[in-house]
Chains A and B, each alone.
Chain A
């Protein structure tokens, strides 16, 4: 009884020790977790910066927004991301972008809810929405967590909302929204919003550029008018009052210019049969100063109805102010008077074209004459007095090689009646200074009623300076935008990182004036109440502060060596807790090796220090306990064994020396068996504890010899008739832990010897093979075998497969522990009533043969 008490006591103490070990590893785990969490956050910021870069690079708006939603999902690790772009002036341009599975397909509903959520919540900054406040919303109430942010950009005409959400049914699969998420979300939203604003600003500029090119088109039309003289033309002022008409108009309507000047055309041209719908359309277009082409029934001075195909062009000056309407009445019956008309018109339009620097040319196939106006001479760099030159050949030569073929082909198409006009941008070489010029050209064919070509009319405008200017302006704008955008994004990004960094960062200039600090005033361990632009030198002098002095000294050292200097800084905070910081003092040199800044990065290590001290203390304690336990286990095993062995000795003496009855001998033998079993148990417990604690002792030995010794011992200790077969008896020199291998093999072979089958000639066979990496030892027997259901458990502590088992249930557990310790593997194959094979695989540190 006494022994079993002590044995229980031993086990109890052992359990307590294991509990302690578990506790220490929990503390270590906590440290690792903290480090992992910081790593993880840094990783999130890195990912965010990657997405910002993608968003910055994306050219397509859809792509831009889907990058944002992806970023929300990926960086914040939420289930659903929604970005709602609300166009204030044009609701049709509003759009909802989603990523993840949105429970509501009805996006109109979703966007309405987002807007009213913004109004009701009045969140000052991006953050978490209390789910209660969404209870009345049909879509949003389906979400358990909502991160929300709204931005209003009135100047750019839009509102943008960002949401990150987890649905009710899946919320358990996602992390709860913590402060960390809100911070991350704020950074993300801020970055994306500034990217979007930049994008919209750029779009505005592009639209203006487009407007400029549009008014250019109108100028082109103006130059066209000069040639479209077979139609009636009215020019009115901005209020639609007639300023001028051409002869064609007079011929068509019977009104002379003198009669109608200052009047509005609708006052005298329209009559009862004029279509009111068309008139209304025309009036609206005129009111909105839009171009329009419309068919109307009009009346001549004589009251005759005529069918008028009217085209109205609005003319704007370069300040985008509306100055004129030009109305063209197409009339195909009146072209016989065209030639005369053109001459009359020319003098007037010469003025307009001179003002607008439009070159005009005319080619008549009938007599193959080419006429240029003065501007055209100027554009091509030719002296107008040069009359001997063949203008057509000269023109052909002037065109840049890259454009020549296409231009000539287009003109040929007009001549061949495949088209009636072409508009081109071409490059020419100017004759006088040989410089390359860019021209916008228009070419128009005039045909008679049989579609025969009468003449070609063309205009050209030198837009080189403008094109270059426009191009360089666009480039400059783009470059400026890009660089502003990039630097701003990077600056914000790093500032955000610094602000959210757990480290305290102080930047001083080379006179030790504080220029930057990320320490907020509310911070708990703010021990650096240094106002910006204050010198650290002065502070150290003024307050006789040893801590400051130590830092100033370290700064001098860092300046001198040019290396990072680290010092530990300890102080008591407001709550009178001791706080430890490690401060790295980093001298920052410019490219010319001039000291520019001193950067001090302070990292709070109080917790680490505390845990460190704790761990050291506990480690020492643990080591002591371990040593005590070692002695304890040996003492106990010794004290348990001593009396056991004396009993064993007495029995053996009795059996050998006294004349005993048969029954006495039988009982004494049984007693001996029990003693042996108890002894084995004690030895196994000792082996187990030794394996768990002792380091591996490598030594060189011959495995074959070891197996032979084990065989011999077992043969000697056993009366059973068993064949011990050792297949490969070659010397096997290996280097590993001999005593562990001994225990391992003894246990397994011992089991084979223990559990033999009756009526079968028992054998146990040992074999070994090896390759470069590992040694495999197999132990096969034809014994009882192990039930299949027990196979997965046989290596468990205290597991015994049968009641007939006479062991402690520790043997195979120890084998498993030993192979684990030696980084090996142990496997078992067994068939009930057939036998068992154990194979032990050991990686060899070295092996010798």
Chain B
């Protein structure tokens, strides 16, 4: 199973990787430090479609909203049938609502990702 983590916080990425591999050691985790990096990756020849994506909202260079907008207009959709979770520590309800308006977003999860969260997501 391939999972993409897009977050500018290395510690969070490390933590989330630990949590994910703890639930399932076979999970292959790829981390990206900004939306720009991730989009570059999608555009590159190395891109390999993941099973699930965890996307942070507030990031430098290119934030989560911009990544979502990019994905929505991109033809064909590089993340067809992929579950896209938005992870954020924002307290701004508007961020919350805005994200869920997009069809390609599966759900919104508050940081940090816990073992319980991961179990629910992966086992479902």
Verify if A646 is at the interface (C-beta below 8 Å from B): yes
Which of A52-60, A253-261, A631-639 lines the interface with chain B? A631-639
CA distance A639 to B88 in the complex (A): 11
Verify if B49 is at the interface (C-beta below 8 Å from A): no
CA distance A459 to B92 in the complex (A): 114
Q: A646 contacts B91, CB within 8 Å?
A: no
On whether A646 and B15 interact (CB within 8 A), knowing A638-B58, A652-B114, the answer reads yes
Q: B12 contacts A634, CB within 8 Å?
A: no
Verify if A592 is at the interface (C-beta below 8 Å from B): no
Verify if B115 is at the interface (C-beta below 8 Å from A): yes
Chain A residue contacts of B12, Cβ below 8 A:
642, 645-646, 649
Chain B residue contacts of A656, Cβ below 8 A:
115
CA distance A639 to B92 in the complex (A): 13
Q: B90 contacts A638, CB within 8 Å?
A: yes
Q: B111 contacts A635, CB within 8 Å?
A: no
Q: Most chain-B CB neighbours within 10 Å: which of A652, A682, A683, A739?
A: A652
A634, closest chain B residue (CB): B92
Q: B114 contacts A646, CB within 8 Å?
A: no
Q: How many residues of B are in contact with the other chain, CB < 8 A?
A: 20
Chain A residue contacts of B112, Cβ below 8 A:
645-646, 648-649, 652
Q: B15 contacts A686, CB within 8 Å?
A: no
18 contacts between A and B (CB under 8 A): A634-B90, A641-B89, A641-B111, A642-B12, A645-B111, A645-B112, A646-B11, A646-B15, A649-B16, A649-B113, A649-B114, A650-B11, A652-B112, A653-B15, A653-B18, A653-B19, A653-B22, A739-B93
CA distance A686 to B92 in the complex (A): 9
CB of A176, distance to nearest CB on chain B (Å) = 55
- Grouping DSSP codes into helix (H, G, I), strand (E, B) and loop, the A interface class, with mixed when no group exceeds half, is helix
Verify if A657 is at the interface (C-beta below 8 Å from B): yes
Verify if B9 is at the interface (C-beta below 8 Å from A): yes
Q: B22 contacts A657, CB within 8 Å?
A: yes
Residues of A within 8 A of B (CB): 634-635, 637-639, 641-643, 645-650, 652-653, 656-657, 682-683, 686, 739
- B45-61 toward A: CB 8 Å interface, digit per residue (1/0)? 00000000000001000
CB of A160, distance to nearest CB on chain B (Å) = 77
CB of B54, distance to nearest CB on chain A (Å) = 13
CB of B99, distance to nearest CB on chain A (Å) = 14
CB of A815, distance to nearest CB on chain B (Å) = 19
On whether A643 and B11 interact (CB within 8 A), knowing A634-B90, A649-B111, the answer reads yes
CB of A832, distance to nearest CB on chain B (Å) = 35
Residues of B within 8 A of A (CB): 9, 11-12, 15-16, 18-19, 22, 58, 88-93, 111-115
Q: A634 contacts B111, CB within 8 Å?
A: no
CA distance A758 to B15 in the complex (A): 39
Chain B residue contacts of A635, Cβ below 8 A:
58
CB of A681, distance to nearest CB on chain B (Å) = 12
CA distance A455 to B92 in the complex (A): 123
CA distance A648 to B19 in the complex (A): 13
Pick the contact of B91 from A637, A649, A657 — CB < 8 Å? A637
A642, closest chain B residue (CB): B89
Chain B residue contacts of A739, Cβ below 8 A:
93
Given pairs A645-B112, A686-B91, 9 additional interface contacts (CB within 8 A): A634-B92, A642-B58, A642-B89, A646-B12, A647-B11, A649-B16, A652-B114, A653-B22, A653-B115
Q: Most chain-B CB neighbours within 10 Å: which of A634, A682, A739?
A: A634
CA distance A646 to B19 in the complex (A): 12
Chain B residue contacts of A642, Cβ below 8 A:
9, 12, 58, 89, 111
Chain A residue contacts of B58, Cβ below 8 A:
635, 638-639, 642
CB of B58, distance to nearest CB on chain A (Å) = 5
Pick the contact of A649 from B15, B88, B93 — CB < 8 Å? B15
B110, closest chain A residue (CB): A645
Chain B residue contacts of A683, Cβ below 8 A:
91
Q: A645 contacts B89, CB within 8 Å?
A: yes
Which 6 pairs from chain A and chain B are nearest by CB? A649-B112, A641-B89, A646-B12, A646-B11, A645-B111, A649-B15
Chain B residue contacts of A652, Cβ below 8 A:
112, 114
Chain A residue contacts of B9, Cβ below 8 A:
642-643, 646
CA distance A635 to B111 in the complex (A): 16
CA distance A682 to B22 in the complex (A): 31
CA distance A641 to B111 in the complex (A): 9
CA distance A649 to B112 in the complex (A): 5
CA distance A206 to B60 in the complex (A): 100
CA distance A77 to B9 in the complex (A): 72
Chain B residue contacts of A638, Cβ below 8 A:
58, 88-92
CA distance A43 to B8 in the complex (A): 68
Chain A residue contacts of B88, Cβ below 8 A:
638
Chain B residue contacts of A649, Cβ below 8 A:
12, 15-16, 19, 111-114
CB of A728, distance to nearest CB on chain B (Å) = 29
A657, closest chain B residue (CB): B22
CB of A639, distance to nearest CB on chain B (Å) = 8
